Structure 1
Amino acid sequence: MTKFSKTNTRFLPKGLIIIYEDNDILVVDKPAGLLTIATDSEKTKTAYAALTDYVKKGSIQSKKRIFIVHRLDRDTSGILIFAKTEDAKLKLQADWDKTKKKYIAVTHGNWDKPSGTITSYLAENKAQVVYSTKDPSLGKLSHTSYKVIKETKNYSLIEVDLLTGRKNQIRVHFSDEKHPIVGDKKYGEDEKSYIRMALHSYSIFFPHPFTGKEMFLETDIPVFLTGLVGGFEFDSK
């Protein structure tokens, strides 16, 4: 595990935290509200841009470039892996089926079943809204496994095992079940305004692209999520 000085991390925007770094990979905890990569409307305020600046100016282990391995939605916080070489990127993506990502979410209402798997074909329309369909020719088969960790009068805390990694997958599947994620302005129907969306990628397990070492990394659960349900404890592994 690499230790980071204030000199190294001063190039990072507020809330973007490095949780692991070596010569091949860079793993961060991304804050909600920060894009992974540029879009047509936002070119510079992204995790990719900030970390590119970091490896050029602040990392003594840098080869001066980073490569995107996967993405998180702007409104989702949590673990993101970047590669420091194209070879590392390709190896990580080739072995992505061995990667296990877990999320924590707070949804509206109480679920009928304490656990289960949601399955549908996911497609995207011209307005960039993802939706479920029964037509396999239109969408990609997607599976989301969930387990209820805690319930309150209005909310449920859910642990999510992402079995496939489609765009907006968890958000669409939970909305389909009539339990949208708190603060989800795109797929929910919140009348109340929340400071962020209650979805966080909190842990990841993957083989290191070169050493083969089994890597397990996790983050703290954001205070906003714990505050909605009054705190909780669970085994993250």
Structure 2
Amino acid sequence: MRYNANSPGEYEHYVVNEERPLLEFLLDNVHQTRTKIKQTLQGQGIRVNGKTITQFDYMLQPGMKVAVSKTKRNQVTFKSRYVRIVYEDRWLIVIEKQPGILSMAGGHSSLNVKSVLDDYFHKSHQKCRAHVVHRLDRDTSGLMVYAKDIDTEQILEHNWHDIVYDRRYVAVLSGEMEQDEGTIQNWLKDNKAYVTYSSPVDNGGKLAITHFHVMDRTTDHSLVEFKLETGRKNQIRVHAADMGHPVCGDVKYGNGDDPLHRLCLHAWLLCFYHPVTREPMEFETTVPAAFRHLFK
């Protein structure tokens, strides 16, 4: 069975035997009013195959497992223009961040995902804090996971490369890519100005390996998916620049091509084994509409 966050006693479990919308299935199987069921959905109290689902018209398939929370859900509504909660359980929280917000506090900026989540945990009376496990650049959008306790954070941090089995980004690159797919491998190291540069031979830096696949292209831009084999600082941005097609909107490694007035890099897929239950957890977001619009 897929991962279930709470102990079995806190959830009612059901198995789907025919294709039908989630709300219709719940109304037929759960002994609650339509209003109560909708509240449970909106309060993130319904899971399908281990994933929290909030859409009432989500289409169920035969064999899927539905878990319905029996406990009163938190009444705190999470609202943030920069952060969207994708999944949450007692050990971790997965979010999608917008560009323009740091992963954690740094320098003079107070706007960061960690403080947004800590504020949410406080208001929802959860005795936990958000522990940073990995980072996205301020102007990169997409999926991130934070631990809710130090033990979970330590498991994720020390076993990151074994736990995370797929991470993919999508980017708009400047110019028309010549190759359809390929792999970039070199060594990355920061100089004294904290700018990352690459070397084809070991320069005392860290080995960086990136696989890429072109999804769409015009004569001006290319929509490219990147799969990371290693996760180094600014890895995709440096490797894109190395190919002669820097990420659009990249003020550090780019060429001034900025069609969307943002760094065109989005972490769209994050797959990992749950650090406590070891169940596979797979999350994906849609490619930002603005990215797609450039290729219509």
Q: Report the TM-score when normalising by structure 2.
A: 0.72
**Contact 1:145 1:160 (C-alpha < 8 Å) held by counterparts:** yes
Of the candidates 38, 43, 58, which is equivalent to residue 105 of structure 2? 38
Q: Percent identity?
A: 38
Matches within 5 A, 1:97-108: 97-98=161-162, 99=164, 100-108=166-174
Amino acid at match of 2:150: E
Q: Is contact 1:198–1:224 with CA below 8 Å preserved after alignment?
A: no
* Residue 74 (1) aligns with residue 141 (2): no
Match of 1:123 in 2: 189
Aligned partner of residue 116 in structure 1, secondary structure? strand
Given that 1:145 and 1:163 are in contact with CA atoms closer than 8 Å, whether structure 2 keeps it comes out as yes
The equivalent position to 1:170 in structure 2, one of 236, 247, 253, is 236
1:8 maps to 2:72: no
Does 1:212 pair with 2:278?
yes
- 3-state SS, counterpart of residue 148 of structure 1: strand
TM-aligned CA deviation for residue 5 of structure 1: 7.6
Structure 2: 5+ residue stretches without partners: 1-50, 55-72
Instruction: Kindly indicate whether residue 95 of structure 2 is the aligned counterpart of residue 28 of structure 1.
Output: yes
RMSD across aligned C-alpha pairs, in angstroms?
A: 1.8
Seen in structure 2, the aligned counterparts of structure 1 residues 166 and 38 have a Cα distance that, compared at 3 Å, is same
1:152 shift after superposition: 1.2
Larger relative CO (CA 8 A, sep 6+): 1 or 2? 1
Query: Which residue is equivalent to 2:256?
Result: 190
Question: CA 1:157–1:220 in 2, change beyond 3 Å: closer, same or farther?
Answer: same
1:46 Cα shift? Answer: 0.4
Provide, for residues 47-74 of structure 1, a one-character-per-residue CA deviation record: whole Å limited to 9, x for no partner: 111111111113x5x3321211100001
Q: CA deviation at 1:94?
A: 2.7
Tell me, yes or no, if the aligned pair for 1:63 and 1:84 is still in contact at 8 Å.
Answer: no
Runs (4+) of structure 1 exceeding 4 A deviation are 2-6
Q: Answer yes or no: is 1:159 the counterpart of 2:225.
A: yes
Q: Secondary structure at the match of 1:7?
A: coil
Counterpart residue identity of residue 8, structure 1: T
CA distance change for structure 1 residues 78 and 6 in 2, over 3 Å: closer, same or farther? farther
Change (3 A) 1:9 1:154: same
88, 96, 100: which is aligned to 2:152? 88
**Compared CA separation, residues 20 and 133, structure 1 to 2 (3 A):** same
3-state SS, counterpart of residue 174 of structure 1: helix
Whole-angstrom distance in 2 between the partners of 1:183 and 1:57: 36
Partner of 1:143: 209
Q: Number of paired residues?
A: 225
Q: Deviations over 1:70-125 (max 9, x none)?
A: 00001100001000011111112233113121001110112221111101100111
**1-structure distance, mates of 2:168, 2:104:** 21
Contact 2:76–2:123 (CA under 8 A) maintained in structure 1: no
Letter in 2 for 1:20: Y
Structure 1: state its 5+ residue gaps. 231-237
Structure 1 length-normalised TM? 0.89
Rate the CA distance shift 1:16–1:169 in 2: closer, same or farther, 3 A. same
> Does 2:83 correspond to 1:19?
no
Q: Is the 8 A contact 2:248 2:257 kept in 1?
A: no
Give distance in 2, aligned partners of 1:118 and 1:140. Answer: 14
